[in-house]
């Protein structure tokens, strides 16, 4: 939103998502600063206006993030305090359901960051906090500090994980997630769209994200795609649905995050399919 989709297209996606019963929306203050002419908060602004127009804020679970916007970088107490107010204004709300540390900031003591988040929870501006792009070790350290000091505690984690990007999520994060009873909501669940089924050898895909899929266009990637297409055909569902079903079955995953640029793409990712043990094992082996 605010990057590859217009506000009108974004509203159509959000309307369709809501009609399907969807209520969790994930964004960040820095979305979509990278687009020429943008300054950040574009996605939050669209979501905020949509909720205002539909009058449905109380029905939505809104997650946003702090630390990666160029004008609000890092996790110092001062920055978190300023950034949350910017996000609240853009979202046209007085509270954020889940507020993420968008990336670890080792230049700031974890105690300072967690105290700042605790202050936001106490003030009612934030309900829960979570971590994104943390290593397992740093996440565990933060959890231990919260326990020792009575600070608000990270309830979940959002790192990259999908059929073709399995490490270090599986080797590093899963044990921390399970040991602490956290939820995991991996981003790039469809590997920047590569696992949606539109990519094939020799096919040129017109997409602003196409360049990000080059690393997957190899024998391993095409092998996984061939299996996904076959399984999707057998189930009568989209390729995206199969890729996300595999991800939902993995340890340390509560729900995968996937995005749609237009409403028709949403129809592909909201499909829910149950894969057999053999199908899961096949995809797991091919993606090793």
Tell me: the pLDDT tens digits for 52-69?
999 999 999 999 999 999
**Rounded mean pLDDT, 212-216:** 92
Confidence of residue 276 (pLDDT cuts 50, 70, 90): very high
In the block, residue with structure tokens 């996984």: 224
**Rounded mean pLDDT, 16-31:** 97
Catalytic residue among 31, 99, 169, 216: 31
The per-residue pLDDT of the chain, averaged, comes to 95
Token readout for 6 is 């217009």
Report pLDDT digits (tens) over 149-168. 999 999 999 999 999 999 99
pTM of the model: 0.94
Distance CA 86, CA 29 (A): 8
CA 245 to chain centroid, in Å, comes to 16
Evaluate if residue 261 carries a pLDDT over 70: yes
The answer to whether the beta carbons of residues 241 and 272 sit under 8 Å apart is: yes
pLDDT score of 112 = 98
Q: Work out whether strand 126-132 and strand 68-69 pair parallel, antiparallel, or are unpaired.
A: unpaired
What are the extents of the domains in the chain? 1-158
Q: From 3.40.50.620, 3.20.20.100, 3.40.640.10, 3.90.180.10, which CATH number describes the 1-158 domain?
A: 3.20.20.100
Closest CA to 165 of 268, 256, 66: 256
Distance CA 28, CA 275 (A): 32
pLDDT score of 216 = 96
Confidence of residue 211 (pLDDT cuts 50, 70, 90): confident
Evaluate if residue 204 carries a pLDDT over 90: no
User: What percent of the chain lies above the pLDDT cut of 70?
Assistant: 98
DSSP state of 188: -
Evaluate if residue 2 carries a pLDDT over 60: no
Closest CA to 93 of 119, 71, 125, 68: 125
Q: Is 31 annotated as catalytic?
A: yes
Confidence of residue 210 (pLDDT cuts 50, 70, 90): confident
Closest CA to 237 of 263, 262, 270: 270
Distance CA 112, CA 132 (A): 17
Closest CA to 63 of 151, 133, 156: 156
From 2-6, 225-229, 278-282, the region with the lowest mean pLDDT = 2-6
Q: Is 100 left (phi over 0), alpha (psi -120 to 50) or beta?
A: beta
pLDDT score of 282 = 98
């Amino acid at each position: 939103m605010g990057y590859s989709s217009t506000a009108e297209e974004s509203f159509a996606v959000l309307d369709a998502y809501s009609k399907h019963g969807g209520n969790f929306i994930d964004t960040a203050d820095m979305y979509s600063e990278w687009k020429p002419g943008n300054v950040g908060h574009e996605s939050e602004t669209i979501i905020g206006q949509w909720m205002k127009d539909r009058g449905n804020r109380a029905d939505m679970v809104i997650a946003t993030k702090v630390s990666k916007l160029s004008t609000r970088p890092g996790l110092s107490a001062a920055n978190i305090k300023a950034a949350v107010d910017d996000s609240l204004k853009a979202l046209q709300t007085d509270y954020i359901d889940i507020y993420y540390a968008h990336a670890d900031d080792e230049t700031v003591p974890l105690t300072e960051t967690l105290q700042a988040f605790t202050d936001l929870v106490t003030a009612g501006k934030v309900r829960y906090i979570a971590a994104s792009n943390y290593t397992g070790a740093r996440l565990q350290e933060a959890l231990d500090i919260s326990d020792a000091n009575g600070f608000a505690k990270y309830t979940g984690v959002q790192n990259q994980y999908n059929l073709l990007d399995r490490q270090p999520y599986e080797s590093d994060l899963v044990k921390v997630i399970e040991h602490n009873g956290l939820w995991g909501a991996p981003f790039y669940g469809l590997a920047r769209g590569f696992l949606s089924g539109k990519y094939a050898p020799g096919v040129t895909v017109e997409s602003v994200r196409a360049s990000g899929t080059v690393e997957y266009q190899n024998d391993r990637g095409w092998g996984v795609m061939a299996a996904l297409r076959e399984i999707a055909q057998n189930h009568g569902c989209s390729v995206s649905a199969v890729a996300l079903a595999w991800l939902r079955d993995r340890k340390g995953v509560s729900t995968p995050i996937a995005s749609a640029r237009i409403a028709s793409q949403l129809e592909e990712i909201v499909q829910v399919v149950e894969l057999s043990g053999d199908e899961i094992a096949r995809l797991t082996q091919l993606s090793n």
